Structure 1
Amino acid sequence: MGNREKLLAGAARCLREKGYDRTTVRDIASAAGVSMAAIGYHFGSREALLNQALFAMLDEWGDAMGRALVPVDDPGGDPVRHFAQLWRSLIEQFATHPDLWLATVELFMQAQRQPELRPQLADGVRQGSRGMAAILESVPEGEVPPGSVRTLGAVQLALMSGVMIQCLSDPENAPTAEEVLDGLRALSKLAG
Protein backbone atom coordinates (compact mmCIF):
# COMPACT_ATOMS: atom_id res chain seq x y z
CA MET A 1 0.00 0.00 0.00
CA GLY A 2 1.43 3.36 -1.05
CA ASN A 3 1.38 6.59 0.95
CA ARG A 4 -1.75 7.83 -0.83
CA GLU A 5 -3.72 4.74 0.15
CA LYS A 6 -2.30 4.83 3.68
CA LEU A 7 -3.41 8.44 4.02
CA LEU A 8 -6.94 7.63 2.84
CA ALA A 9 -7.16 4.72 5.30
CA GLY A 10 -5.73 6.85 8.13
CA ALA A 11 -8.12 9.70 7.34
CA ALA A 12 -11.08 7.29 7.33
CA ARG A 13 -10.03 5.95 10.73
CA CYS A 14 -9.71 9.49 12.11
CA LEU A 15 -13.10 10.47 10.71
CA ARG A 16 -14.67 7.52 12.51
CA GLU A 17 -12.86 8.14 15.78
CA LYS A 18 -12.66 11.94 15.99
CA GLY A 19 -14.90 13.41 13.33
CA TYR A 20 -14.12 15.91 10.62
CA ASP A 21 -13.50 19.09 12.61
CA ARG A 22 -11.44 17.46 15.35
CA THR A 23 -9.10 15.55 13.01
CA THR A 24 -5.73 17.23 12.57
CA VAL A 25 -2.99 16.78 10.00
CA ARG A 26 -0.89 15.23 12.75
CA ASP A 27 -3.69 12.74 13.57
CA ILE A 28 -3.96 11.60 9.97
CA ALA A 29 -0.21 11.31 9.44
CA SER A 30 0.15 9.34 12.66
CA ALA A 31 -2.73 6.99 11.77
CA ALA A 32 -1.28 6.48 8.29
CA GLY A 33 2.32 6.09 9.47
CA VAL A 34 3.58 8.72 7.01
CA SER A 35 4.90 12.28 7.24
CA MET A 36 2.58 15.26 7.48
CA ALA A 37 4.12 16.62 4.27
CA ALA A 38 2.71 13.61 2.39
CA ILE A 39 -0.79 15.03 2.87
CA GLY A 40 0.09 18.19 0.93
CA TYR A 41 1.97 16.23 -1.70
CA HIS A 42 -0.83 13.74 -2.40
CA PHE A 43 -3.97 15.76 -1.65
CA GLY A 44 -3.05 19.42 -1.38
CA SER A 45 -4.77 19.95 1.96
CA ARG A 46 -6.24 18.26 5.01
CA GLU A 47 -9.74 19.16 3.83
CA ALA A 48 -9.22 17.64 0.38
CA LEU A 49 -7.95 14.41 1.97
CA LEU A 50 -10.78 14.25 4.52
CA ASN A 51 -13.36 14.96 1.83
CA GLN A 52 -12.02 12.22 -0.42
CA ALA A 53 -11.84 9.76 2.49
CA LEU A 54 -15.36 10.67 3.58
CA PHE A 55 -16.86 10.19 0.12
CA ALA A 56 -14.98 6.88 -0.25
CA MET A 57 -16.35 5.69 3.12
CA LEU A 58 -19.87 6.67 2.16
CA ASP A 59 -19.60 5.04 -1.26
CA GLU A 60 -18.37 1.81 0.32
CA TRP A 61 -21.06 1.96 2.97
CA GLY A 62 -23.75 2.80 0.40
CA ASP A 63 -22.84 -0.20 -1.73
CA ALA A 64 -22.90 -2.53 1.29
CA MET A 65 -26.12 -1.01 2.57
CA GLY A 66 -27.79 -1.32 -0.82
CA ARG A 67 -26.96 -5.02 -0.91
CA ALA A 68 -28.25 -5.48 2.65
CA LEU A 69 -31.53 -3.70 1.96
CA VAL A 70 -32.48 -5.52 -1.22
CA PRO A 71 -35.26 -7.95 -0.25
CA VAL A 72 -34.37 -11.62 -0.30
CA ASP A 73 -35.60 -13.21 -3.50
CA ASP A 74 -39.12 -14.00 -2.40
CA PRO A 75 -41.49 -14.39 -5.35
CA GLY A 76 -44.94 -13.35 -4.33
CA GLY A 77 -43.60 -12.10 -1.00
CA ASP A 78 -45.43 -9.54 1.02
CA PRO A 79 -44.18 -6.01 0.12
CA VAL A 80 -45.25 -4.72 3.55
CA ARG A 81 -43.09 -7.37 5.21
CA HIS A 82 -40.18 -6.43 2.92
CA PHE A 83 -40.62 -2.73 3.76
CA ALA A 84 -40.71 -3.52 7.48
CA GLN A 85 -37.52 -5.56 7.12
CA LEU A 86 -35.89 -2.69 5.25
CA TRP A 87 -36.65 -0.39 8.19
CA ARG A 88 -35.40 -2.93 10.72
CA SER A 89 -32.16 -3.18 8.73
CA LEU A 90 -31.81 0.60 8.51
CA ILE A 91 -32.34 1.14 12.22
CA GLU A 92 -29.91 -1.66 13.00
CA GLN A 93 -27.34 0.08 10.77
CA PHE A 94 -27.90 3.37 12.60
CA ALA A 95 -27.09 1.61 15.89
CA THR A 96 -24.26 -0.56 14.55
CA HIS A 97 -22.39 2.12 12.59
CA PRO A 98 -23.11 5.49 14.22
CA ASP A 99 -19.67 6.74 13.14
CA LEU A 100 -20.62 6.48 9.48
CA TRP A 101 -23.93 8.21 10.02
CA LEU A 102 -22.24 10.98 11.99
CA ALA A 103 -19.79 11.34 9.10
CA THR A 104 -22.77 11.80 6.79
CA VAL A 105 -24.14 14.60 8.95
CA GLU A 106 -20.68 16.19 9.07
CA LEU A 107 -20.48 16.04 5.30
CA PHE A 108 -23.67 18.09 4.98
CA MET A 109 -22.23 20.63 7.41
CA GLN A 110 -18.92 20.80 5.54
CA ALA A 111 -20.75 21.34 2.24
CA GLN A 112 -22.21 24.51 3.73
CA ARG A 113 -18.69 25.74 4.52
CA GLN A 114 -17.06 24.40 1.36
CA PRO A 115 -19.34 25.12 -1.62
CA GLU A 116 -17.12 23.05 -3.93
CA LEU A 117 -18.43 19.94 -2.12
CA ARG A 118 -22.06 20.67 -2.97
CA PRO A 119 -22.12 19.24 -6.51
CA GLN A 120 -20.55 15.95 -5.35
CA LEU A 121 -22.89 15.79 -2.36
CA ALA A 122 -25.93 16.57 -4.52
CA ASP A 123 -24.90 13.81 -6.92
CA GLY A 124 -24.61 11.39 -3.98
CA VAL A 125 -28.09 12.32 -2.76
CA ARG A 126 -29.52 11.77 -6.26
CA GLN A 127 -27.79 8.39 -6.45
CA GLY A 128 -29.14 7.51 -3.01
CA SER A 129 -32.67 8.48 -4.06
CA ARG A 130 -32.38 6.39 -7.23
CA GLY A 131 -31.00 3.42 -5.30
CA MET A 132 -33.69 3.63 -2.66
CA ALA A 133 -36.42 3.89 -5.32
CA ALA A 134 -34.95 0.83 -7.05
CA ILE A 135 -35.04 -1.13 -3.80
CA LEU A 136 -38.60 -0.07 -3.04
CA GLU A 137 -39.83 -0.66 -6.60
CA SER A 138 -37.89 -3.98 -6.78
CA VAL A 139 -36.34 -3.03 -10.12
CA PRO A 140 -32.76 -2.49 -11.33
CA GLU A 141 -31.55 1.11 -10.82
CA GLY A 142 -31.57 1.74 -14.57
CA GLU A 143 -35.28 0.88 -14.75
CA VAL A 144 -36.54 3.19 -12.00
CA PRO A 145 -39.25 5.50 -13.34
CA PRO A 146 -38.02 9.14 -13.07
CA GLY A 147 -41.03 10.11 -10.98
CA SER A 148 -40.18 7.42 -8.42
CA VAL A 149 -36.72 8.87 -7.87
CA ARG A 150 -38.11 12.29 -6.97
CA THR A 151 -41.01 10.99 -4.91
CA LEU A 152 -40.56 7.49 -3.54
CA GLY A 153 -36.74 7.53 -3.37
CA ALA A 154 -36.29 11.11 -2.21
CA VAL A 155 -39.05 10.92 0.41
CA GLN A 156 -37.72 7.60 1.75
CA LEU A 157 -34.24 9.16 1.94
CA ALA A 158 -35.65 12.19 3.80
CA LEU A 159 -37.51 9.93 6.23
CA MET A 160 -34.36 7.85 6.72
CA SER A 161 -32.34 10.97 7.50
CA GLY A 162 -34.83 12.13 10.10
CA VAL A 163 -35.01 8.75 11.83
CA MET A 164 -31.21 8.52 11.71
CA ILE A 165 -30.88 11.91 13.46
CA GLN A 166 -33.29 10.70 16.15
CA CYS A 167 -31.36 7.43 16.57
CA LEU A 168 -28.07 9.31 16.93
CA SER A 169 -29.34 12.02 19.28
CA ASP A 170 -31.79 10.07 21.46
CA PRO A 171 -31.51 6.32 20.81
CA GLU A 172 -33.76 5.40 23.74
CA ASN A 173 -36.70 7.32 22.30
CA ALA A 174 -36.08 6.95 18.57
CA PRO A 175 -38.85 5.15 16.67
CA THR A 176 -38.61 1.45 15.99
CA ALA A 177 -39.26 0.04 12.53
CA GLU A 178 -42.80 -0.84 13.55
CA GLU A 179 -43.40 2.70 14.84
CA VAL A 180 -42.11 4.15 11.56
CA LEU A 181 -44.58 1.96 9.67
CA ASP A 182 -47.43 2.91 12.01
CA GLY A 183 -46.52 6.57 11.53
CA LEU A 184 -46.52 6.21 7.76
CA ARG A 185 -49.94 4.58 7.90
CA ALA A 186 -51.26 7.45 10.02
CA LEU A 187 -49.72 10.03 7.68
CA SER A 188 -51.22 8.35 4.63
CA LYS A 189 -54.67 8.73 6.20
CA LEU A 190 -54.04 12.44 6.67
CA ALA A 191 -52.76 12.84 3.12
CA GLY A 192 -55.92 11.12 1.86
Structure 2
Amino acid sequence: MGNREALLAGAKTCLLEKGFDRTSARDIATTAGVSLAAIGYHFGSRENLLFQALFAILDEWGDLSGRVLVPPDAPGLTPAQAYERMWDELLAQARAQPKMWLASMELFMQAQRQPDLLPHLTDGIRQGRSGVTAILTSTPEPDVPERSVRTLGMIQLALMSGVIMQMMADPEHPPTGADVIAGLRALSEITRHLPG
Protein backbone atom coordinates (compact mmCIF):
# COMPACT_ATOMS: atom_id res chain seq x y z
CA MET A 1 0.00 0.00 0.00
CA GLY A 2 1.40 3.39 -0.99
CA ASN A 3 1.38 6.52 1.14
CA ARG A 4 -1.75 7.90 -0.55
CA GLU A 5 -3.76 4.74 0.12
CA ALA A 6 -2.38 4.50 3.67
CA LEU A 7 -3.42 8.08 4.36
CA LEU A 8 -6.91 7.50 3.03
CA ALA A 9 -7.28 4.35 5.14
CA GLY A 10 -5.89 6.20 8.17
CA ALA A 11 -8.27 9.10 7.64
CA LYS A 12 -11.24 6.72 7.43
CA THR A 13 -10.17 5.03 10.67
CA CYS A 14 -9.80 8.39 12.42
CA LEU A 15 -13.16 9.64 11.15
CA LEU A 16 -14.91 6.54 12.44
CA GLU A 17 -13.17 6.78 15.81
CA LYS A 18 -12.98 10.54 16.42
CA GLY A 19 -15.15 12.34 13.89
CA PHE A 20 -14.20 15.14 11.51
CA ASP A 21 -13.57 18.01 13.91
CA ARG A 22 -11.55 16.00 16.43
CA THR A 23 -9.25 14.37 13.86
CA SER A 24 -5.93 16.17 13.45
CA ALA A 25 -3.46 15.82 10.61
CA ARG A 26 -1.05 14.26 13.10
CA ASP A 27 -3.69 11.65 14.07
CA ILE A 28 -4.07 10.65 10.44
CA ALA A 29 -0.34 10.49 9.74
CA THR A 30 0.28 8.45 12.88
CA THR A 31 -2.54 6.03 12.09
CA ALA A 32 -1.33 5.71 8.49
CA GLY A 33 2.30 5.31 9.54
CA VAL A 34 3.52 8.01 7.16
CA SER A 35 5.00 11.48 7.56
CA LEU A 36 2.83 14.50 8.25
CA ALA A 37 4.16 16.16 5.09
CA ALA A 38 2.64 13.35 2.98
CA ILE A 39 -0.84 14.74 3.62
CA GLY A 40 0.00 18.01 1.90
CA TYR A 41 1.85 16.26 -0.91
CA HIS A 42 -0.96 13.79 -1.74
CA PHE A 43 -4.11 15.69 -0.75
CA GLY A 44 -3.20 19.35 -0.33
CA SER A 45 -4.74 19.65 3.13
CA ARG A 46 -6.18 17.73 6.06
CA GLU A 47 -9.67 18.85 5.01
CA ASN A 48 -9.33 17.54 1.44
CA LEU A 49 -8.11 14.20 2.77
CA LEU A 50 -10.95 13.97 5.29
CA PHE A 51 -13.52 14.88 2.63
CA GLN A 52 -12.26 12.10 0.37
CA ALA A 53 -12.34 9.71 3.32
CA LEU A 54 -15.92 10.76 4.15
CA PHE A 55 -17.02 10.09 0.57
CA ALA A 56 -15.30 6.70 0.65
CA ILE A 57 -17.17 5.86 3.87
CA LEU A 58 -20.43 7.04 2.32
CA ASP A 59 -19.81 4.78 -0.70
CA GLU A 60 -19.17 1.82 1.61
CA TRP A 61 -22.31 2.59 3.61
CA GLY A 62 -24.31 2.85 0.38
CA ASP A 63 -22.98 -0.50 -0.83
CA LEU A 64 -23.86 -2.18 2.48
CA SER A 65 -27.32 -0.63 2.51
CA GLY A 66 -27.91 -1.53 -1.13
CA ARG A 67 -27.18 -5.19 -0.44
CA VAL A 68 -29.65 -5.17 2.44
CA LEU A 69 -32.33 -3.55 0.27
CA VAL A 70 -32.24 -6.33 -2.31
CA PRO A 71 -35.38 -8.39 -1.70
CA PRO A 72 -34.60 -11.63 0.12
CA ASP A 73 -34.73 -14.86 -1.83
CA ALA A 74 -37.52 -16.30 0.28
CA PRO A 75 -40.41 -17.78 -1.68
CA GLY A 76 -43.77 -17.31 -0.08
CA LEU A 77 -43.13 -13.88 1.42
CA THR A 78 -45.66 -11.22 0.55
CA PRO A 79 -44.26 -7.86 -0.61
CA ALA A 80 -45.07 -6.42 2.84
CA GLN A 81 -43.27 -9.27 4.60
CA ALA A 82 -40.24 -8.87 2.34
CA TYR A 83 -40.22 -5.11 3.02
CA GLU A 84 -40.48 -5.71 6.77
CA ARG A 85 -37.59 -8.16 6.65
CA MET A 86 -35.55 -5.66 4.64
CA TRP A 87 -36.11 -3.10 7.41
CA ASP A 88 -35.09 -5.55 10.12
CA GLU A 89 -31.87 -6.28 8.24
CA LEU A 90 -31.18 -2.59 7.57
CA LEU A 91 -31.65 -1.72 11.24
CA ALA A 92 -29.46 -4.63 12.31
CA GLN A 93 -26.75 -3.38 9.95
CA ALA A 94 -26.97 0.15 11.39
CA ARG A 95 -26.65 -1.28 14.93
CA ALA A 96 -23.61 -3.29 13.82
CA GLN A 97 -21.98 -0.32 12.02
CA PRO A 98 -23.03 2.77 14.01
CA LYS A 99 -19.79 4.65 13.35
CA MET A 100 -20.17 4.26 9.60
CA TRP A 101 -23.70 5.61 9.74
CA LEU A 102 -22.60 8.52 11.94
CA ALA A 103 -19.80 9.34 9.49
CA SER A 104 -22.38 9.59 6.71
CA MET A 105 -24.35 12.06 8.84
CA GLU A 106 -21.14 13.99 9.47
CA LEU A 107 -20.68 14.37 5.72
CA PHE A 108 -24.11 16.00 5.57
CA MET A 109 -23.11 18.41 8.36
CA GLN A 110 -19.76 19.25 6.75
CA ALA A 111 -21.46 19.92 3.40
CA GLN A 112 -23.60 22.57 5.09
CA ARG A 113 -20.42 24.31 6.29
CA GLN A 114 -18.29 23.73 3.18
CA PRO A 115 -20.19 24.82 0.04
CA ASP A 116 -17.71 23.03 -2.24
CA LEU A 117 -18.84 19.70 -0.79
CA LEU A 118 -22.55 20.24 -1.38
CA PRO A 119 -22.61 19.34 -5.11
CA HIS A 120 -20.83 16.05 -4.34
CA LEU A 121 -23.31 15.26 -1.56
CA THR A 122 -26.23 16.21 -3.80
CA ASP A 123 -24.95 13.87 -6.50
CA GLY A 124 -24.62 11.05 -3.95
CA ILE A 125 -28.16 11.62 -2.68
CA ARG A 126 -29.53 11.58 -6.22
CA GLN A 127 -27.70 8.34 -6.97
CA GLY A 128 -29.03 6.89 -3.71
CA ARG A 129 -32.62 7.79 -4.58
CA SER A 130 -32.28 6.24 -8.02
CA GLY A 131 -30.62 3.08 -6.71
CA VAL A 132 -33.16 2.58 -3.93
CA THR A 133 -36.04 3.06 -6.36
CA ALA A 134 -34.55 0.57 -8.81
CA ILE A 135 -34.15 -2.02 -6.05
CA LEU A 136 -37.60 -1.54 -4.54
CA THR A 137 -39.35 -1.67 -7.91
CA SER A 138 -37.13 -4.40 -9.41
CA THR A 139 -36.43 -2.09 -12.34
CA PRO A 140 -33.04 -1.60 -14.02
CA GLU A 141 -31.75 1.75 -12.78
CA PRO A 142 -31.58 3.40 -16.23
CA ASP A 143 -35.29 2.57 -16.73
CA VAL A 144 -36.56 4.00 -13.44
CA PRO A 145 -38.91 6.94 -14.13
CA GLU A 146 -37.66 10.24 -12.72
CA ARG A 147 -41.01 10.76 -10.99
CA SER A 148 -40.51 7.52 -9.04
CA VAL A 149 -37.00 8.61 -8.06
CA ARG A 150 -38.39 11.96 -6.81
CA THR A 151 -41.17 10.29 -4.83
CA LEU A 152 -40.47 6.69 -3.82
CA GLY A 153 -36.70 7.14 -3.71
CA MET A 154 -36.92 10.36 -1.72
CA ILE A 155 -39.34 8.92 0.84
CA GLN A 156 -37.39 5.67 1.25
CA LEU A 157 -34.12 7.56 1.87
CA ALA A 158 -35.88 9.91 4.29
CA LEU A 159 -37.37 6.94 6.14
CA MET A 160 -34.02 5.18 6.31
CA SER A 161 -32.20 8.24 7.67
CA GLY A 162 -34.95 9.19 10.08
CA VAL A 163 -35.64 5.74 11.48
CA ILE A 164 -31.93 5.00 11.94
CA MET A 165 -31.42 8.40 13.60
CA GLN A 166 -34.22 7.63 16.05
CA MET A 167 -32.76 4.20 16.76
CA MET A 168 -29.37 5.76 17.51
CA ALA A 169 -30.95 8.39 19.76
CA ASP A 170 -33.06 5.86 21.69
CA PRO A 171 -31.19 2.54 21.64
CA GLU A 172 -33.28 1.18 24.53
CA HIS A 173 -36.38 1.18 22.31
CA PRO A 174 -35.14 0.35 18.81
CA PRO A 175 -37.70 0.32 16.02
CA THR A 176 -38.43 -2.86 14.11
CA GLY A 177 -39.51 -3.63 10.59
CA ALA A 178 -42.99 -4.30 11.94
CA ASP A 179 -43.04 -0.81 13.50
CA VAL A 180 -42.12 0.76 10.16
CA ILE A 181 -44.83 -1.20 8.33
CA ALA A 182 -47.43 -0.27 10.96
CA GLY A 183 -46.41 3.38 10.74
CA LEU A 184 -46.64 3.37 6.95
CA ARG A 185 -50.08 1.79 7.11
CA ALA A 186 -51.23 4.45 9.60
CA LEU A 187 -49.88 7.22 7.34
CA SER A 188 -51.58 5.63 4.35
CA GLU A 189 -54.89 5.67 6.22
CA ILE A 190 -54.43 9.35 7.11
CA THR A 191 -53.49 10.39 3.58
CA ARG A 192 -56.40 8.40 2.12
CA HIS A 193 -58.73 10.93 3.71
CA LEU A 194 -56.87 14.03 2.60
CA PRO A 195 -58.69 16.20 0.06
CA GLY A 196 -57.59 16.16 -3.58
With the shorter chain as reference, the TM-score category is over 0.9
Partner of 2:111: 111
Q: TM-score, normalised by structure 1?
A: 0.95
1:57-108 residue CA offsets vs partner (Å, 9 max, x unmatched)? 2112212321232013457752111111111111111101000111011111
Q: What does 1:135-174 align with in structure 2 at a 5 Å threshold?
A: 135-174=135-174
Q: 3-state DSSP class of the match of 1:116? A: coil
Task: Give the Cα–Cα distance (whole angstroms) in 2 for the partners of residues 177 and 130 of structure 1.
Answer: 22
Which region of structure 1 is more displaced relative to structure 2, 77-86 or 47-56? 77-86
Q: 1:20 maps to what in 2?
A: 20
Which structure 2 residues correspond to residues 1-192 of structure 1 after superposition, within 5 A? 1-73=1-73, 77-192=77-192
* Identity among equivalent pairs (%): 62
Unaligned runs of 5+ in 1: none
Long gaps (5+) in structure 2: none
Paired residues of 1:58 and 1:104 also in contact (CA < 8 A): yes
- 1:163–1:174: 8 Å Cα contact kept in structure 2? no
Matches of 1:175 and 1:99, distance apart in 2 = 19
User: Tell me, what secondary structure is at the counterpart of 2:175?
Assistant: coil
SS in structure 2 at match of 1:115: coil
Write the letter of the residue equivalent to 1:19. G
Determine if contact 2:57/2:104 at 8 Å carries over to the other structure.
Answer: no
CA distance in 2, matches of 1:63, 1:142: 18
Q: 1:77 to 1:176 in 2, by over 3 A?
A: closer
Q: Name the TM-score, length of structure 2 as normaliser.
A: 0.93
Of 164-173 and 109-118, the range deviating more from structure 2: 164-173
